[in-house]
Amino acid sequence: MSAKPIVAIVVVGAVLIVLMSSVYQVYETEQVIITQFGRPVGEPVSDPGLHVKVPFIQVANYFDKRFLEWDGFPNQVPTRDKRFITVDTYARWRITDPLLFFQRVRDEDGAQTRLDDILDGETRNAVARHDLVEVVRSSNRDASEIPVELVEGEGEATILQEIAVGREAITREILQRASERSVDLGIEILDLRFKRINYIEEVQQDVFARMIAERQRIAEQYRSEGEGEAARIDGERERELQRITSEAYRTAQEVRGTADAEATAIYAEAYNRDASFYAFMKSLETYELTADPSSIIILTTDSDLLRFMKSKQ
C-alpha cells in the first residue's frame, strides 16, 4: 500500500476530529458557557441547536435550565421560647444567570454548598425569632372547632393559643432573605418549605409521656361523666320499675278483692238457698284439704267432720 492513501486517511481523520471539537449541541433544557483557558468568553448560549466554537482551545460548559432541587439536612434549632426542635427543609431553585453562576460557584455541586449555608442559616435565624407555636401552625382556627383541653395541674378549660405570624409567613420570610443573598450567585430560589418539624430525641419521650397523661386525664373525665350518666339512667329505670310493680300490685289486689267479694256473695247466696248443702260442700272441701293417704285422723263420734259420713243422706 502506498503512502498517499495513508496520508489521505490521516488528513480526513484530523479534519473530522477538528470538526467534532468545533461543534457542540445545545438541548432545550440546557444553557452553555464557553470558556477559553478556563475563562468565560462571549455571551451565554441558550438557543437549542448546533453551535461552533474554537476547537481544542474553547470548552463548552453545560448548565441546566430546569428547576433544581435542594434538600437540606435536619438541624437542631432553638425557638424563641427555648424549645429545641429538629427542622428539615427543602427548596426549589434555578440558574438565571449562567455566566455569573459559573464565575461564583462553577457548577451545581458548588451551588448546593452555598445554598446549604444560605438556606440553613436563614432557617435557623427565622426559627430562633419565633415561638414554637408560630412554626408549627399556619392559621388560627374558629374557637368552636377547637377541641377543649385541660390545663395540666389546673383542671380549667383552655383553647389553642392564637398565632400572629404562622408557618407560611415564616417560610416567606426565609425565602425573601435567602433570595437576597443568592442574587449575586446567578441563582433564583423559587420556593422553600418545612419538610418536618419535630422535638429533638432527648425531649420526645417526655413530650409523648405528657401527651399520653393529658389524654388519659381527658379520658378519665369522659369516663366519669359516662358512669354518672349510667347511674342516673339506672336510678330512673329502678324508679320506673318500682312504679310499674306497685301499680300492678295495686291492680292485682283490687281484682283479688273484687273476686273475693263476688265469691263471698255467691257463697252467701248458695247458703241462703240450701244451708245443709252448703255445709256439706264446705265439709268436703275441708276433707280434701286435711286428709291424704299418708295422714291418720282421729275424730270423736260427735265431730262435725263425721256428721256427714254418719248420715245416710
Residue 7 pLDDT > 90: no
**Same domain flag for 107 and 27:** no
State how far the Cα of 227 lies from the Cα of 214, in Å rounded to an integer.
20
Give the per-residue pLDDT at 201: 78
**Same domain flag for 177 and 127:** yes
Residue with cell 418545612: 194
pLDDT tens, position by position, 54-90: 988 999 999 999 999 999 989 899 999 888 899 999 9
Residue 239 pLDDT > 60: yes
Task: Please give the grid coordinates belonging to residue 309.
Answer: 259420713
**Is there a domain that residue 239 lies in?**
no
Domain region containing 8: 3-64
When mean pLDDT is compared across 167-176, 177-186, 253-262, the lowest value belongs to: 253-262
* H or E segment to which residue 196 belongs: strand 187-199
Q: Which CATH number characterizes residue 153's domain? A: 3.30.479.30
Give the per-residue pLDDT at 305: 62
**Same domain flag for 17 and 124:** no
State how far the Cα of 62 lies from the Cα of 108, in Å rounded to an integer.
10
Task: List phi, psi (to 5°) of 67.
Answer: -70, 135
Average confidence (pLDDT) over 119-138: 92
Residue 151 pLDDT > 50: no
CA distances from 2 to 6, 13, 14, 19, 221 (A): 7, 18, 19, 27, 106
Residue with cell 455566566: 99
**Is there a domain that residue 80 lies in?**
yes
**Same domain flag for 104 and 164:** yes
Give the per-residue pLDDT at 303: 67
**Is there a domain that residue 37 lies in?**
yes
CB count in 10 Å sphere of residue 127: 25
Across the chain, mean pLDDT equals: 84
**Same domain flag for 105 and 36:** no
Give the per-residue pLDDT at 286: 73
CB 126 within 8 A of CB 173: yes
State how far the Cα of 70 lies from the Cα of 112, in Å rounded to an integer.
7
Residue 149 pLDDT > 60: no
When mean pLDDT is compared across 137-151, 154-168, 183-197, 228-242, the lowest value belongs to: 137-151
In this prediction, residue 19 has a pLDDT band, given cuts at 50, 70 and 90, of confident
Average confidence (pLDDT) over 269-289: 71
Distance of CA 52 to the CA centre of its chain: 59
Give the per-residue pLDDT at 174: 96
**Same domain flag for 270 and 303:** yes
**Is there a domain that residue 228 lies in?**
no
Q: SS3 letters for 98-151?
A: HHHHHHHHCCHHHHHHHHHHHHHHHHHHHHHCCCHHHHHCCCCCCHHHCCCEEC
Q: How many domains are contained in the chain?
A: 3
pLDDT tens, position by position, 291-304: 677 777 676 766 66
**Same domain flag for 188 and 110:** yes
